[in-house]
Structure 1
C-alpha cells in the first residue's frame, strides 16, 4: 500500500489514538502481520530483528529494531492503522525525528502496510485533512505544540 505523495493525506478516526466510547473501539493492526513483515524486511536487508516492544497506553505505536551491518533502524508501526515509519532512536513520541525509509522498506507494502516517508511525516498540518479530529484531539495537538503529521500519528498523549 503506497501513499500517494501528491494527494492530500486524510486522517481517519483513531489516527491520534483517541476514541470516544460512543463511536466504538478503534481498529487494531494485526501484530502477527507486523511481525511477519518485520522479519521479511530484515531478511531483505541482510540484517536481523532486534528488540520488539508492543505499545502500551498512551503510546499509539509499536516499535522494533532492525540491525543492518553496524547500523540500527527503529521501525514504528501505528497501533490502529497499517502505517510504518522509520526513526534513528527509540522514543516515547515523535515530532520530526523520522528517517527516509531504507531501500528494504518496500517489504512492508507487500504485507499491506503503507510506508510513510519523512517528507510526509514532517509535512505541516495545514496541508493535512484533519477534519475528523475532535475538540479534545485538537487540544492535545495545541498542548503538545505539534506542527507535523508524524507528531499527530506517533504520540503518547494522555
Structure 2
C-alpha cells in the first residue's frame, strides 16, 4: 500500500505540474478512477463522500472529503500520477500538513493508486531523487520555499 520509508523516491516528469511544450503533454490520473476508489474508500470508512473538486490550474491535485465514522479526512489525488495523500484541511497547496493514511486507505491501493505516507511526504528534498526537475521547476521550488517532497507534489505554483 504505502512506499517503503527508506526507499529513494524518484520524481518523474510531471510531478511538479510544470511541463515544457516540447516534451509533450503530462500524464493524467483519471478523475473517474479516483472517484470510484473514493466511493469505495468512503464505504470502508463507514461514511460518505462529502465533496470532490477536480484539479484546476495551477493546482496539481484533485481533492475530496470523506466524512467517515472517525471524522472528516481530506483526500488528495495527484493530477498527473496516481498518488494519494491525506490531510485534515482543504488547501491550495501543502507542505507538511499531511496525515498518516487512515485504515481505509487500502481501497485506493486496491484500485491501482499509490498511497503516500506522512513520513515520505515530509522527506526533505535532498533525500529525494530530483534529477528530472528542470531549471524552471527549481526556480519555483526556491521561490515558494518548498523543502519537502509533499510540497513539490501537492502545490499550486503559477
- Give the TM-score taking structure 2 as reference length: 0.97
Secondary structure at 1:46 match in 2: coil
Secondary structure at 2:67 match in 1: strand
* Displacement after TM superposition at 1:2 (Å): 4.0
In 2, Cα distance between equivalents of 1:2 and 1:68: 21
* Displacement after TM superposition at 1:70 (Å): 6.1
Map of 1:154 onto structure 2: 154
In 1, Cα distance between equivalents of 2:55 and 2:22: 24
* Displacement after TM superposition at 1:68 (Å): 1.1
Map 1:101-140 to 2 at 5 A: 101-140=101-140
* Displacement after TM superposition at 1:98 (Å): 0.3
1:78 aligns with 2:86: no
Give CA-to-partner distance per residue, 1:53-109, whole Å, 9 cap, x none: 011100000000000136100000000000000000000000100000100001100
8 Å CA contact retained: 2:45, 2:69: no
Map of 1:58 onto structure 2: 58
- Give the TM-score taking structure 1 as reference length: 0.97
**RMSD across aligned C-alpha pairs, in angstroms?**
0.9
State the 4+ residue runs in structure 1 displaced beyond 2 angstroms: none
8 Å CA contact retained: 2:8, 2:127: yes
In 2, Cα distance between equivalents of 1:92 and 1:42: 22
* Displacement after TM superposition at 1:139 (Å): 0.4
